[in-house]
Amino acid sequence: MSEVKVTKETAKKLYDSAPDFFKKQLEVAFGKDAFRKIDYRDIKTFKDACKALDIDTDAISNDTDTKDEAAYKKLKVIIQAINQGWIPDWNDTNQKKWYPWFRLSSGFGFDGSYCTCGISLADVGSRLCFESEAKANYAGKQFTTIYEGFLK
């Protein structure tokens, strides 16, 4: 009998589309919690986002990062965790890609969420989009301080 070694990261990618017998094997090897889907609203801090993705918080930024660079790196992790595997398809002009919008003129505050799908704009980074308005609204309100560090 041959033996195959699978990393936890690869196991998570395989799990959703795996047949039941293979899911059981993966659960035995890595534990059921490794495959538990969390609700995006459970991600309340940067640390929560790192935990959801099995990322070491110390590995994200370094001492040479500027404030905006550190915030951008954190936002990429947060958004990846909230999107839970959804990746924007930039070839699909019908797919909505949501992003929070902030008011910068009189202080800093969350102003709402917007989407883009069929035109070419550069008002939001491609790695900072959400699959739904609800997720964009949540992130804009929950992580306002990190967005401020990125945008100001």
Would you state the pLDDT for residue 118? 55
The token pair that represents 6 in the structure block: 């699978």
Would you state the pLDDT for residue 122? 46
Instruction: Give CA 71 to chain center in angstroms.
Output: 14
- 53, 100: one domain: yes
For the chain, the domain total comes to 2
Entry pTM = 0.76
Q: How confident is the model at residue 78 (pLDDT cuts 50, 70, 90)?
A: very high
Tell me the pLDDT tens digit for each residue of 91-139.
998 999 999 999 887 778 888 888 866 554 445 567 799 999 999 999 9
Q: How confident is the model at residue 43 (pLDDT cuts 50, 70, 90)?
A: very high
- 48, 107: one domain: yes
- 31, 43: one domain: no
- 130, 99: one domain: yes
- 13, 48: one domain: no
- 45, 117: one domain: yes
- 28, 52: one domain: no
- Long-range CB contacts (within 8 A, 24+) of 46-50: 46/74, 46/77, 46/78, 46/143, 46/146, 48/81, 49/74, 49/77, 49/78, 49/80, 49/81, 49/82, 50/77, 50/81
Would you state the pLDDT for residue 62? 87
Would you state the pLDDT for residue 141? 97
Residue-range definition of the domain harbouring residue 50: 38-151
